[in-house]
Amino acid sequence: MSANLSAPLHLKLHPMNSNIDATKDQPRDTPESALSACRRSAWPPPAYLSVGRAHRMAFRTVGNPQGAPWLLVHGGPGSSCQPGMLAPLDLSRQWAIAPDQRGCGASRPRGKTAASTTHALVADMELLRQHLGIERWSLLAGSWGTVVALAYARAHPQRVQRLVLRGAFALSRREVGGLLQPSRRVLQALGREAAWPAAPGVSLPATLARLRQLLQSGTPGVAGLRVSRRWALLETACVSNGMRRALRQAVTQATAAQAAAIRRDWAALRRRQRKAQASRNRLATQSPDRAAMHKFRIQAHYLQHRGFVRPGALDDAVLGLARQGVLVDWVHGACDAVCPPANSRVWAALGSSLAPQQVTLSEPLSGHLGAEPGMLAALRAVVRRQG
């Protein structure tokens, strides 16, 4: 990336601890209670919008239709919008639009990669905006979703009010290789029989090509089933590493209550990890297996093509937004083990070099997930900020 880190950096930098404490003056409206409320709230059945080439995009709208519109851009690639993504918003005065990207979640046909590119995802979002009659909206995006959000903002800057980008993904070899080419220790933890095409000496492009080949079949075979389960375990291991780092730092940098909340989340993730690991060799295919096959088929497709994003395009998008005067809030977990915090730091510095008043950078004490206590508090403080 082209940011000059030796240049003076003028950022509205929010220190780590201030983000964790962002909601301490609202004891009845904590991140934990907000997330719980979102999980209890009605997550409506999706509506559908035909976006061409036989694709139908599923989307949901939640909150106040008269309020400020916020487009939720999910990560992945291959995942979908979930009720917990509503937690940073004040739904009494904000309107959430939550689409599932092509082939993802409730969108149809599910798991199909034909005519699925980042350019197509951007076109789908713009078609949805027109369909809903929205003049301008703000975007709340996480992980892979930050790539899609930046691509959309680059193509349609006049339609973007604000961008809140969590855990920015740079599509780098380091990030992708860190997940898909794990250490021997991690592979051993998956089991001796782990069917994973990333033996020592196998290049990342070859690994991605093999993964995509194993996951292409519409009917899960044994090899594809094992690969999708192990890919899910690798994802969970990366996320768990970030949460463990946050927990270690919380001992000295956070209150006892905040450390306890991180510990609870990490323990819950570890329980799910052990459960998934115990069933990794089960031959019966269940609904979660089919969902994972769809997800990782799409993920392999996008990663193999480097997100269909040319080198330098994300830097260009950041600079273009600065020139357009669009406010961009970068929020990145200081302990993120999936996407390096340097991603957001570099892009925040790049945008700030042209428009220092339009850029903020927050690094809460958290890992990669948007629902982690420190991250959720930081997102709520940014998304609900007036002015």
Sheet strands side by side (includes 160-166)? 12-14, 359-362, 327-331, 160-166, 137-142, 68-73, 94-99, 55-63, 47-52
Q: Are residues 283 and 377 in the same domain?
A: no
Q: What is the mean pLDDT of residues 250-269?
A: 94
Domain span at residue 113? 12-173+310-383
Specify the pLDDT at position 282. 76
Q: Which of 239, 269, 304 is the last residue of a domain?
A: 304
Please give the model's pTM, rounded to 2 decimal places: 0.88
* Per-residue pLDDT reduced to its tens digit, 230-241: 899 999 999 999
Task: Confirm whether 183 is domain-assigned.
Answer: no
Write the CATH number for 29.
Answer: 3.40.50.1820
How many alpha carbons lie under 13 Å from residue 80 in its C-beta half-sphere? 21
Please count the structural domains in the chain. 2
Q: Are residues 128 and 247 in the same domain?
A: no
Q: Are residues 28 and 144 in the same domain?
A: yes
Q: Are residues 241 and 363 in the same domain?
A: no
Which of 267, 266, 264, 259 lies closest to 337 in space, CA to CA? Answer: 266
Q: Are residues 29 and 161 in the same domain?
A: yes
Q: Which of 304, 324, 351 is the last residue of a domain?
A: 304
Task: Confirm whether 178 is domain-assigned.
Answer: no
* Per-residue pLDDT reduced to its tens digit, 93-119: 999 999 999 999 999 999 999 999 999
* Per-residue pLDDT reduced to its tens digit, 294-340: 999 999 999 999 999 999 999 999 999 999 999 999 999 999 999 99
Q: Are residues 19 and 153 in the same domain?
A: yes
Q: Are residues 196 and 156 in the same domain?
A: no
Specify the pLDDT at position 387. 55
Q: Are residues 263 and 214 in the same domain?
A: yes
Q: Which of 269, 304, 339 is the last residue of a domain?
A: 304
Q: Are residues 274 and 319 in the same domain?
A: no
